[in-house]
Each structure stands twice: as C-alpha cells, then as structure tokens.
Amino acid sequence: MQEYETLKTLVAEIEMDVNKAEGGNKAAGTRVRKQMQEIKKAAQQVRNKILELRSQPS
C-alpha cells in the first residue's frame, strides 16, 4: 500500500532532526514539528485507505 510506504518514509526522514532537537537545536525542533504535521496527514491517509479496503466487497 503506497500510503503506508509514504508514512514510513516520512518517519525515517525525521530521525536526524529529532536527535538534533533533543540536543537543543531550536531550528531542528521547528522542522520536527512541521514534519510531524505531514506525518499526521499521511497517517490519516492510511486510515482512510484501510476503511476503503474494508468497505469493498470481497
């Protein structure tokens, strides 16, 4: 499922900035918050796709 692969990619891409933000880098923290919004949207797309698949006749 492409939506899930997109979500996994977004999570993987954020790791370095999360580590920098933990170290006190404020700019990295801002990037993390922005990326988390994108992850939230991607997660919603996965949820919608699952509901769509569930409602299709088998």
**Residue 25, Cα to own-chain centre: how many angstroms?**
21
What local confidence, expressed as pLDDT, does residue 12 receive?
A: 95
58 has a pLDDT exceeding 80: no
What local confidence, expressed as pLDDT, does residue 57 receive?
A: 79
What local confidence, expressed as pLDDT, does residue 47 receive?
A: 96
Q: Whose structure tokens read 């990037």? A: 31
pLDDT bucket at 56, cuts 50 / 70 / 90: confident
What local confidence, expressed as pLDDT, does residue 26 receive?
A: 96
The model's pLDDT over 11-42, given as tens digits with 9 standing for 90+, comes to 999 999 999 999 999 999 999 999 999 999 99
Segments in 1-58 forming alpha helices (H): 2-22, 26-55
